[in-house]
Amino acid sequence: MAERAHRSPATPRPVVPLSEVEEGSPAQRERRRRILEATLALATKGGFDAVQMRAVAERAGVALGTLYRYFPSKVHLLVAGLAHELSRVLERIERAPVPGATAAERVLLVLHRNTVALQRDPHLTEAMTRAFMFADTSVAEEVRQVSRLTERMLTHAMGVEEASDEDKDIARVIGDVWLSNLVAWVTRRASAEDVENRLALTVRLLLSARDR
């Protein structure tokens, strides 16, 4: 990745809070929005390799240095984009209870919908998945945010009132398996059907006990 040794940044990162940002002047929020938009567009068109920092900056109409001020690396940028998208999805999902008689059914429905949506934009999925998996400790905060969002999505689907620790653990395991399968799909080691089957198996094994 041609990283020079990270020094303590001369241009300190502005306080960009983790969730949807209301930080900064309107002009700054607008810049941030345009940067993420450019990122998504480039990722959708050509995947991870097409998200080139110079290209993102140009497309967003900001200087390269400014891009780095908002997002300290390409991986930060892509993972932030993932978190952004995910939080939009979650917002929609949480507005209503998930249909389905059992937790297993509901979780599978949510997984299925998301998987289908992701497979509709394979390049975008590839870009985000690879960034997420390549992230090192410096991106831990953004990665954690994505994990939390995923967990919330799955516990919501499970339909528990207040998620217990075990509920959360199970949600995390399902999330792990989901991600692994997404990676396998992205690298063409698994077909869409494989992914659905493996998710179904996992959910069945993990959740069948809780549904009578």
Binding residues for DNA, per CB under 7 A? Answer: 1-4, 6-7, 9-12, 14, 25, 27-28, 31, 49, 51-54, 61-66, 68-70, 72-75
Q: Is there binding between residue 63 and a copy of itself (CB under 8 A)?
A: no
CA distances to 155, 161, 167, 193, 204 from 164, in Å: 9, 9, 5, 32, 19
C-alpha span between 154 and 28 (Å, rounded)? 33
Q: Is there binding between residue 135 and a copy of itself (CB under 8 A)?
A: yes
| Helix, strand, coil share of the chain (percent; to 5) | 75, 0, 25
DSSP 163: -
| Cβ closest to a copy of itself, residue 92 vs residue 188 | 188
C-alpha span between 66 and 136 (Å, rounded)? 22
C-alpha span between 42 and 121 (Å, rounded)? 12
- For residue 75, give the H/E element and its range: helix 74-94
| Residue among 23, 49, 91, 211 that touches a copy of itself (CB under 8 A) | 49
CA 191 from chain centre, in angstroms, equals: 21
Region near a copy of itself per CB under 8 A, out of 21-29, 100-108, 110-118, 127-135: 127-135
Residue 73 touches which of a copy of itself, DNA, none (Cβ within 5-8 Å per kind): DNA
Region near a copy of itself per CB under 8 A, out of 61-69, 112-120, 128-136, 151-159: 128-136
| Cβ closest to DNA, residue 11 vs residue 164 | 11
Region near a copy of itself per CB under 8 A, out of 23-31, 64-72, 114-122, 173-181: 173-181
